[in-house]
Amino acid sequence: MMLFFENISLAISSLRANKVRALLTMLGIIIGIGAVIAIVTVGNSLTLSISDSMSSVGANNITVGLRQRENEEETTDSGAVFRDYRNQKQPKEEDYFTDEMIEAFRETYPDEIADISISESLGSGKVTKGEDYANVSVVGVNDGFFTANDLTMLKGNILSGKAMEEGRDVALVSDYFVDNLYNGDPGKAMGETVEITIGKKYYTYTIVGVYEYQAMSFSMTSKKDTVTDVYTPVKSVQRKTHNTSGYSSFTVVIKTAGEAQAFIPKINHFFDRYYRKNRNFELSTFTLESMVSEFTGIMGTVSTAISIIAGISLLVGGIGVMNIMLVSISERTREIGTRKALGATNASIRTQFIVEAIVICLIGGMIGIVVGVGGGIIGAKALGFAAAPSLSSILISLIFSMVIGVFFGFYPANKAAKMNPIDALRYE
């Protein structure tokens, strides 16, 4: 153990004697490890931020909808299969999910289903007030929508049961809406009547509540031009669209966290009785849980690929370490000869120079970690994300730098160990 610490001391003394050369030798290691950690940090920050944004919308929700059956295919002479998308169909009244279907579904699985959210879009448009304006999307919702979506009310309350039942033309607007049209004062907006222009039609609503809009962290749209939802009873939207036959989609809220994916087969089994014989449409399901998982996997793959490319500089750095160790051994040939003449074994000479290579790489690795973490934090904040350095990547980088020291330091160290002491002492 004493010999090991003595070798470390010798290595540090050698580095101090050649500071500039040692720093240039470490540069490849610093750049490689710094780049890898910075990339992983930014990637983790991006992944966590987007995953949190998606999860806050409702990771326990399952969106159930309709998709056109893919039963029309064309095979070319080469064997390639193409689907015919020229005859895209829109759901008709007989294809929709009805209130009776949804209620029967809820009654079949009372222990698993917390609520069912229904939303129907009236369209996107604009509200103007003098020179001020707000971009909006009018969405009709039911009571279950507020279970499926975590809405923070700033003024007023969510749509009442009576308003829902009667399909009144009342609405919840966002704080962005209020900022644009009422100077950010929710009190001024309450009870106001607004006219929303959608295409060539005009719809009038009375504001009964203001909610806090949750902006996506990766949105590039300015706050003033952001399109926010105006929530109104679904019956109000159905009356305006003349659609009272059913819904093209709905969202199931699962009671138990993390069980959304496992509940999908039950949804398919229940609705199969309604859509088994439907020639045009079939059931489709979607969960944010699966989307988050897929996104995380993609980001992990991209970060790994970029890190491998950045890691090539570690190889260059390792070659630099080998090169400088060969130069160092050449300069210290007489020292090696003297040590061997005094009884130093080949193993002790080999260990001395391997330890020196490890120390070079380890110091370079630690500097690289500082540079990488700092660069990753700056990069994440520049993109508007909370920094999330990866402890595992830091530990792996530190271990990897030591491995590089052993791997690229072994050949020079072995060469030093095999020197003939007489020839070494004669070296000029």
Nearest 10 degrees: CA dihedral of 410, 413, 415, 417? -130
Chain length of the chain: 428
Question: Integer distance in angstroms from the first to the last C-alpha of the chain?
Answer: 33
Location of structure tokens 């929508």: 145
**25 close to 269: Cβ distance less than 8 angstroms:** no
How many angstroms separate the Cα of 70 from the Cα of each of 74, 165, 168? Answer: 11, 38, 40
- Residue (of 410, 409, 419) closest to 346 by Cα position: 419
Domain boundaries, the chain: 2-54+294-426, 61-287
pLDDT of amino acid 8: 75
Give Rg (Cα) of the chain: 34
**CA 96 to each of CA 250, 251, 274: distance values in angstroms, whole numbers, following the listed order:** 11, 14, 10
CA pair distance 423, 207, nearest whole angstrom: 95
177 in Cβ contact with 230 (< 8 Å): yes
Angle between helices 99-108 and 260-275 (to 10 degrees): 130
Note the pLDDT of residue 55: 55
The residue written with tokens 């210290």 in the block is 332
Give me 253's structure tokens: 């809220």
Query: d(Cα 207, Cα 186) in Å, to the nearest integer?
Result: 10
Residue closest to 372 by CA, chosen among 32, 141, 50: 32
Q: What is the structure's pLDDT at 209?
A: 95
Looking at residue 355, its pLDDT comes to 83
Contact yes or no for 210/175 (Cβ under 8 A):
yes
- What local confidence, expressed as pLDDT, does residue 97 receive? 92
List per-residue pLDDT tens for the chain, 428 residues long: 556 667 677 767 777 777 777 787 788 788 888 888 888 888 778 777 766 665 555 567 888 998 888 755 454 444 444 455 556 777 787 888 998 999 999 999 999 999 999 999 999 999 998 889 999 999 999 999 998 888 899 999 999 889 999 999 999 999 999 999 999 999 999 999 999 999 889 999 999 999 999 876 555 667 888 999 999 999 999 999 887 778 888 999 988 877 788 899 999 999 998 998 888 888 888 887 666 667 677 777 777 777 677 667 677 777 877 887 787 777 777 777 787 777 778 888 888 778 888 888 888 888 988 998 898 888 888 877 777 787 877 888 778 778 887 887 788 878 777 777 666 566 55
Rounded to an integer, what distance in angstroms lies between the CA atom of residue 159 and that of residue 170? 8
- Residue whose entry in the numeric block shows the structure tokens 């070079």: 360
In the chain, the amino acid numbered 319 is I
Q: E-strand spans in 85-118? A: 113-117
- pLDDT for position 23: 80
Residue 54 has what pLDDT? 57
Q: How far is CA 327 from the centre of its chain?
A: 47
